Amino acid sequence: MLCCVLTHPFQRLRSPLSPGSRAGLGAALVLLGFIWAVEAADGNGAHYLGLMAAAPVLAAVFATWRVVLAVGAAATAGAVAFAFSEPRVSLDTATNVAAIALVTALVAVVAGVRQRQARQIAELSKLASVAQQAVLRPLGPQVGTLAVAARYISSTATAEIGGDLYEAIDTPYGVRMIIGDVRGKGLDAVRLASIVLGSYRHVAHERADLRAVVSDLDRAVARSVGDEDFVTAAVVEERGGTLTIVNCGHPSPLLLRRGCVIPLEPPAPAPPLGFMPVVQPRVERLEPGDRLLLFTDGLGEARRDGEFFPTADRAWRLLGHGTVADGLASLETALVEWVNGRLDDDIALVLMEYAGPRSDATAAVPSWEVGATEG
């Protein structure tokens, strides 16, 4: 009889159960089976019926409200069966049966609320991911003459949204890249990042001089933020093997060359976008096989037991081999292992490789020289 009582409610569960519901259902059935076995072995009245109320409570921790109701129905039916096996149903027994039914109803409501909140969180997380992908378009594997790869490492497992930004564009002035970090997090940071990237995607094609690009970006940020908001950024141009970098308060890119790691510090410091930076370009001549790592400050701040991740010391071993995408994957794995999976800040990474000049390449003219001829 108890087998029939147990089977009937679960026939109403039409859709496949999720892993959480299966876990909750399995735990609840094990508990019910144990209580039924103890009650049957006692054989001297219904003494343990009240414990059956724990089964729907346990199911409610993981399962949907439908599963909770099914477990509660099975528990209630089992309690009724044991109650009627007595010569006379006592008041205590009837109260226990009623309590099981009442607890089932209450925890089913709780499970329904939890289930609805879980769906809302999942939808928000999905929207955040879509927003992030709309702002940060996939890069590579080739942009102009450069092999390029990018990764965004979120500091939280439940959301992939933040203010780190990057872009690489093939323009009439060469391949131009930007990496930046908006002060703050959340939707406001993503909004400002989208403003910076939208402006950059336009002016990168229009301005010959990177300093003019920075001026346009600074005005876009100043129009969109408060007095204490800003965006650190590094803008990079590769043209005919000549690398030009302007830096607005951002961590310096790392040049990987023949086993060495060279920080490309700016000639003079400049404030972030939003504070009217006056930048001085740094110009380097690239060699075939050179790689350049652009990153946000989350990489420099990643630490374990107070010890920072040794980016410069390990960069060549992690990034100097395989494809640029392989290099970033190795760096992310080493970084996550270093911090034991707990990052304090989001991290954006861009790695590019210079293969050498094209056969039809013209003489390299850095953008700051081209810009000097503009009126």
User: What is the reported pLDDT for 25?
Assistant: 81
Task: Please tell me the predicted confidence (pLDDT) of residue 147.
Answer: 97
In a domain, 8, yes or no: no
The predicted structure's pLDDT at residue 214: 97
Q: Give dist(CA 66, CA 12) in Å, integer.
A: 9
- The answer to whether residue 80 is domain-embedded is yes
Same-domain check for residues 217 and 313: yes
- Residue 119's pLDDT is 85
Q: Are residues 182 and 103 in the same domain?
A: no
Backbone angles phi, psi at 6, to 5 degrees: -70, -40
Helix (H, G, I), strand (E, B), or coil: what is residue 305?
A: coil
- Phi then psi for residue 205, to 5 deg, are -90, -15
Which of 128, 159, 192 corresponds to the end of one domain?
128
pTM of the model: 0.68
Per residue in 240-277, pLDDT (tens digit) is: 999 999 999 999 999 999 999 999 999 999 999 999 99
Over range 355-362, report the average pLDDT: 68
Are 284 and 243 in contact by the 8 Å Cβ rule? The answer is yes
Q: Domain range for residue 91?
A: 19-128
| DSSP category for residue 262 | E
Residue 364: inside a domain: no
82 and 156 in one domain?
Answer: no
Tell me how long the chain is.
Answer: 375
Question: 29-33, 127-131, 339-343 — which is least confidently predicted?
Answer: 127-131
Final residue before a domain boundary, out of 128, 148, 179: 128
> What's the CATH number where 290 sits?
3.60.40.10
Residue linked to tokens 């049966």: 97
Q: Last residue of a domain, which of 105, 128, 151?
A: 128
Return the beta strands (E) in the chain as ranges: 142-143, 146-153, 164-171, 174-182, 231-239, 242-248, 254-257, 260-263, 282-285, 291-295, 303-304, 307-308, 347-354
Residues 203 and 61 occupy one common structural domain: no
| 347 located within any domain | yes
Q: Which DSSP string do the residues of 274-335 spell out, in sequence order?
A: TS------EEEE--TT-EEEEE-HHHHH-EETTEEP-HHHHHHHHHSSS-HHHHHHHHHHHH
26 sits in which H/E element: helix 19-42
- Note whether 113 and 140 are same-domain residues: no
Split into its structural domains, the chain has a count of 2
Instruction: Flag whether 161 is in a domain.
Output: yes
- 205 and 325 together in one domain: yes
Find how far residue 81's CA is from the centre of its chain. Answer: 51
Q: Are residues 290 and 202 in the same domain?
A: yes
Residues 169 and 104 in one domain: no
Cα distances (Å, whole numbers) of residue 238 to 33, 80, 207, 288: 70, 79, 15, 13
Closest CA to 68 of 117, 33, 101: 101
In whole angstroms, what is the distance from residue 127 CA to residue 144 CA? Answer: 32
User: What would the two tokens of residue 99 be?
Assistant: 């309590």
Tell whether omega for the bond before 310 is within 30 degrees of 0, i.e. cis.
no
Assess whether 288 and 343 both reside in one domain.
yes
Q: For residues 78 and 216, state if they share a domain.
A: no
Structure confidence at residue 118 (pLDDT): 84
Residue 7: inside a domain: no
Rounded distance, CA 64 to CA 71, Å?
A: 11
Read off the pLDDT of residues 173-212 as tens digits, 9 standing for 90 and up. 999 999 999 987 777 888 888 899 999 999 999 999 999 9
Percent residues over pLDDT 70 in the chain? 85
Kindly report the backbone phi and psi dihedral angles of residue 182, in degrees, each rounded to the nearest multiple of 5, phi listed first: -85, 135
> Does 369 map to a domain?
no
Q: Which of 261, 262, 259, 236 is nearest to 247 (CA)?
A: 236
Same structural domain, 82 and 167? no
* Residue 142 belongs to some domain of the structure: yes
Judge if 168 and 303 occupy the same domain: yes
pLDDT in tens, 121-172: 878 777 766 766 667 788 989 999 899 999 998 876 555 567 899 999 999 9
What's the whole-number average pLDDT of the chain?
Answer: 84
pLDDT at 23 over 70: yes
What is the rounded CA–CA span in Å between residue 254 and residue 303?
19
